[in-house]
Structure 1
Amino acid sequence: MVDKILKERKMKKVKLLFKSTIYIYIHIPYCKSQCPYCAFFKQVGNREDLTDFFLRDLDSYETNFSEFEVKSIYFGGGTPSLFSASFFEKIINKIGKKISLNPSVEITIEINPNTLKTENLRELKQAGITRPSFGIQAFNKIGEKNLLKF
């Protein structure tokens, strides 16, 4: 009984804080290489399949989110564009089963242009990504070399 009351109080606080709208950020902590100017947590090299980890993590939330609506999902990193479109599709679908997605939900992925091919953009769009965000650190070789000295 006490647990139920505490959960209800917690949900009331969450509702007051978010006003029934949720914005989700999912950190993908993997990169091809270590950039000297980047302070974000990331790992370089081989990565185990994170799909199952994220799906299990989403399943662990017992809170009833039925009164909430997701306005945006942001996949940041690291370099999320190292992952396949099916990875994002599975995560987006799982979130949609747990929480209502706003009909105009914005789903963003950070993309390193060096990891992208035209067909990747099509696949990401089919997976539900609505907004690619290109991380361009330099527009020429001189700028790129200067960043690496940083």
Structure 2
Amino acid sequence: MPRDGACERTLVLGLGNDILTDDRVGLLASRELAAQAPLVAVEEACLCNLDLLPIIEGYDRVVILDAIWGQAWEAGRVYRFTPADLPHSFGYRSPHTMDLSDMLAMGRDMGLQMPKQIIVLALGVVDPFTFGEELTPAVREGLPGLVDAARSELGAGE
């Protein structure tokens, strides 16, 4: 839930799974950012799609930190997306899930106050599937870049 106040309410949301090697990079980045920017609301989630609605509801701006995997995405490189330009292959997809734009539209249709701006910062990863708590070398080297990109994004909204 957002903090009270007259200024813009911003949430940093780290996504991932703490027990999957590189998939945890969004969680790690959000933890680093929380330590560096204590006045920013930071949440973590191992959820997707509609389960995220109660977390993002009421914020003006959300910066999502996550992993992205596939041949098109260079490991260790940070990618920036808006819901409109987010690739359909991003994240978990099944007939029971929806993409971020659909999720936001559904939230609005349900009368929820959805963020005016959502930015997704995703780090290209090597292995988001293997159980383990150590990042692969390329992702470990790219993690500071993801944190820096989030810090820059937060500064752009102030």
- Give the TM-score of the pair, scaled to structure 2: 0.34
Question: Where is the helix percentage greater, Structure 1 or Structure 2?
Answer: 1
- Give the TM-score of the pair, scaled to structure 1: 0.35
Question: Where is the strand percentage greater, Structure 1 or Structure 2?
Answer: 1
State which structure, 1 or 2, has the greater radius of gyration over its C-alpha atoms. 1
